[in-house]
Structure 1
Amino acid sequence: MKILYDHQAFAASRFGGVARYFYNLMTALHQKGVDVRLSIRYSNNYYLLNNNQFQAQPFRYFLGYMKTSILISQINRTWSCLQVVRRNYDLFHPTFFHPYFLWFIGDKPYVVTYHDVIKEKFGDRFGHVDNEPKRKKQKILDRAAHIIAVSENTKNDLIDIFQIDPVRITVIHHATNFLELSVPDTFQIQTPNTYLLYVGYRNSYKNFNPFLSAIASVLKKYDHIQLVCAGGGSFTAEEIQLIEKLGLTDQVFHYSADDFTLYRLYQHALAFVYPSLYEGFGMPILEAFATGCPVVLSNTSCFPEVAQDAALYFDPESETSVREQIETIILDEQLRQLLRKKGYERQLAFSSEKMVNQTLQVYQRAIAQAS
């Protein structure tokens, strides 16, 4: 079986959940003996640069960030078009929603993974989360041999918003490589003594600024506790201004985070907090479970499906709810121990082996139907 993946998830982002999902999937399939190919020439993606199997050339932003990114994107897309046209594969799996390949793929089957419908569900409120309009996504979904949804919540959204026949959708939950990640004992980092952990991007629907405003009084009340933000880029000028306005300059910090650093940050945190308004799955939940970190979540979208009773929940749009639950997790050591135990039990349902085997079954059915 030959599976071709394209450049899209890896071309523009150095980190990110979608790129991590595809990288972990490709790596696991390769280890199972599947002929996995990635059509990309240039990328600064962290996962690719640290792997010999799926090689891409790093590049400098010699024309400035935007102009260089556009140029590199065009080169990668042209290269992907060539690989699609050559047809030396059994199945194609695009990693995002630009429909460039539809002109060239002919009768070759392709499978699409859908992570979330945030843009379609919330429209102008979070419409900038990607650049592809609904009509282009609809065309890709309608022609796909099969669709993978990362949660039942996303599957229901696909049925509701894109009118997809449920029999064409298979739910395959994510898994995390943190379960198998071997962090050397010698790899240690300096952290605050007691801190809450926030992971990933902080813009728009991630709800970071309202979350920070909601917990400001709690951090001031328990001034030995700090908030560590990992990944997602350095604080913006607007975020720095808000942190200063709330009087939290000495209690809110940012860490750049590769996998080893992130693993240690989860391990030592008082709790991991995820205040997002909407997600398709929420990979950091599994990362926290795998490292024994108590989890505090929004009660929205897929979160109850993924975490079930292994997390403490709040209403992300209620300052009172956020504040009360954060104070609860700070004060209740017994609850934190219970959540660690339940998190470990819950993460057993999300193995990489299960995810890969289920994905292989989807591929095999799609190829057989196209024969």
Structure 2
Amino acid sequence: MRIAVDCRVLNKGLTGTGRFLQNILAKLPEIDKNNEYYLFTTKELNVDTDYYKIIKQNFWFPYKLFSPFWMNIVIPRFLKEYNIDIFISPNIILPFKKIGNVKYITVIHDVIPFIYKEYYSFSYRTYLKIVVPRALKVADKVLTVSEHSKKDIERLFDFPSYKIDVTYNTVSECFYPMNYSSAEPKVKLELPEKYLLYVGAIEKRKNILGLINIVDSLWSKGYNLPLVIVGKANYGYEEIRKKLDKRKERILIINYVSDEELNYLYNKAFIFLFPSFYEGFGIPPLEAMKCGLPVITSNTSSLPEVVGDGGFIIDPNNVNAFVDTIISLLKDNDRYFTMKRKALEQADKFNIHNVTHKFFTVINELK
């Protein structure tokens, strides 16, 4: 079969959606020896060009104007020109109309804007109200990244369960337990000796205000453990920024790091905190566990499904429970190192080979 993938999510700074696709594309050449893959893109891609056929279309006008043109004019033309059998969109959107006998697969990581509207702008919610139902109308198969997200899609859109498959997220093999002291000459980051870590967008949905309260409570009890936040500002940041600015001695913000630096941050951290209110999956906790870092996260949405026994699962509004768990790990080395082992064991359940094989299986079921 000839399979095409819309790869525009790889053309800019990688989010969870981009990493999901990047990881699968890296492993597919080892698993699928029969199908042909065409990658539709607007820029150069860092992939195996002996295996993938790169189809590039440049553009010279604003991205927001180009995006609907790309999906409804450029993509249909490519599908016909290259006799594509299956088209995969890793980021929800599909052409409004079916093209010949081409089967459509869309990946919907989550439907959070339909559940927690207050965390997203009116314009973005309006855009999703238009494109998501249209994508579901033409989709032959929907992939999502957790059982929780699958149930949300079924419930919110009355979409048939048999058309939805769960293909869990995975994380890059660049995340692993390391002897971080040997990496210090290569990684130029000024970090506290011992610190808590959060990785993700700086926005209200991620419960950054809760993180601040956790740190404040720890310091009030005499545990002066700083927090390192790695992430970019997102919707609702202004309210959060004022509180962060007042706590520069206890909260360090890093906007961007390379994967090598992020792996170092995970390995050098003491505990990973992720008290998010809602996640379709939650890649950062999985990255942390893959490095053997104990995780304390929320008991909401898909997070218990991902973290399992590899971390502590707590009500995101219960600051005291987060603080008590951190203190218990500070005081009990045996418990701390037991959780490091359990984190590695849980992360292995989401290894890249298993996830890519499931992705490959779903594709071939559409023959």
TM range, normalised to the smaller chain? 0.7 to 0.9
Change (3 A) 1:180 1:119: closer
Q: Give the distance between the partners of 2:130 and 2:233, measured in 1 at CA.
A: 31
Match of 2:37 in 1: 36
Partner amino acid for 1:103?
Answer: K
Match of 2:302 in 1: 302
Q: Give the distance between the partners of 2:307 and 2:228, measured in 1 at CA.
A: 22
Asked if structure 2 preserves the Cα contact closer than 8 Å seen for 1:5 and 1:92, the reply is yes
Match of 2:322 in 1: 322
Deviation at 1:353, TM superposition (A): 1.2
Change (3 A) 1:345 1:312: same
Partner amino acid for 1:166?
Answer: S
Q: Give the distance between the partners of 1:350 and 1:179, measured in 2 at CA.
A: 14
Match of 1:200 in 2: 200
Match of 2:113 in 1: 119
Cα deviation digits, residues 252-303 of structure 1 (max 9, x gap): 1122211111101000100111111111111112211111111110111111
SS of 1:296 mapped into structure 2 = strand
Q: Give the distance between the partners of 1:213 and 1:257, measured in 2 at CA.
A: 25
| Alignment of 1:108 onto 2:102 | yes
Correspondent of 1:171 among 166, 169, 172: 166
Q: Give the distance between the partners of 2:273 and 2:351, measured in 1 at CA.
A: 23
Which runs of no fewer than 5 residues in structure 2 stay unpaired?
none
Deviation at 1:90, TM superposition (A): 2.0
Q: Give the distance between the partners of 1:94 and 1:146, measured in 2 at CA.
A: 11
SS of 1:84 mapped into structure 2 = helix
Q: Give the distance between the partners of 2:227 and 2:177, measured in 1 at CA.
A: 26
Deviation at 1:52, TM superposition (A): 6.5
Q: Give the distance between the partners of 2:99 and 2:126, measured in 1 at CA.
A: 22
Partner amino acid for 1:21?
Answer: F
Change (3 A) 1:52 1:219: farther
Partner amino acid for 2:110?
Answer: D
Q: Give the distance between the partners of 2:222 and 2:259, measured in 1 at CA.
A: 29
Match of 1:287 in 2: 287
Asked if structure 2 preserves the Cα contact closer than 8 Å seen for 1:227 and 1:252, the reply is yes
SS of 1:158 mapped into structure 2 = helix
Map 1:182-201 to 2 at 5 A: 185=183, 187-190=186-189, 191-201=191-201
Q: Give the distance between the partners of 1:89 and 1:163, measured in 2 at CA.
A: 29
Map 1:11-90 to 2 at 5 A: 11=11, 13-32=12-31, 33=33, 34-42=35-43, 48=45, 50-51=46-47, 53=49, 68-70=62-64, 73=67, 76-77=70-71, 79-90=74-85
Partner amino acid for 1:344?
Answer: L
Q: Give the distance between the partners of 2:347 and 2:214, measured in 1 at CA.
A: 29
Change (3 A) 1:291 1:189: farther
Asked if structure 2 preserves the Cα contact closer than 8 Å seen for 1:189 and 1:264, the reply is no
Moved more, 30-39 or 228-237: 228-237
Q: Give the distance between the partners of 1:38 and 1:355, measured in 2 at CA.
A: 20
SS of 2:228 mapped into structure 1 = strand
SS of 2:14 mapped into structure 1 = coil
Q: Give the distance between the partners of 2:158 and 2:68, measured in 1 at CA.
A: 32
Match of 2:269 in 1: 269
TM-score between both structures, scaled by the size of structure 1: 0.83
| Alignment of 1:231 onto 2:231 | yes
Deviation at 1:68, TM superposition (A): 4.3
Aligned pairs, number = 353
Moved more, 71-80 or 305-314: 71-80
Partner amino acid for 1:94?
Answer: S
Change (3 A) 1:199 1:131: farther
Cα deviation digits, residues 184-205 of structure 1 (max 9, x gap): 9563343210001100212131
Q: Give the distance between the partners of 2:217 and 2:207, measured in 1 at CA.
A: 17
Asked if structure 1 preserves the Cα contact closer than 8 Å seen for 2:218 and 2:225, the reply is no
Percentage of pairs with the same residue: 24
Match of 1:146 in 2: 141
CA RMSD in angstroms comes to 3.2
Deviation at 1:75, TM superposition (A): 7.0
Deviation at 1:249, TM superposition (A): 1.1
Deviation at 1:95, TM superposition (A): 2.1
Partner amino acid for 1:122?
Answer: Y
Deviation at 1:354, TM superposition (A): 1.0
SS of 1:103 mapped into structure 2 = coil
Cα deviation digits, residues 84-133 of structure 1 (max 9, x gap): 3425322100122334x133623210112221111122234546666633
Match of 1:95 in 2: 90
Deviation at 1:151, TM superposition (A): 0.9
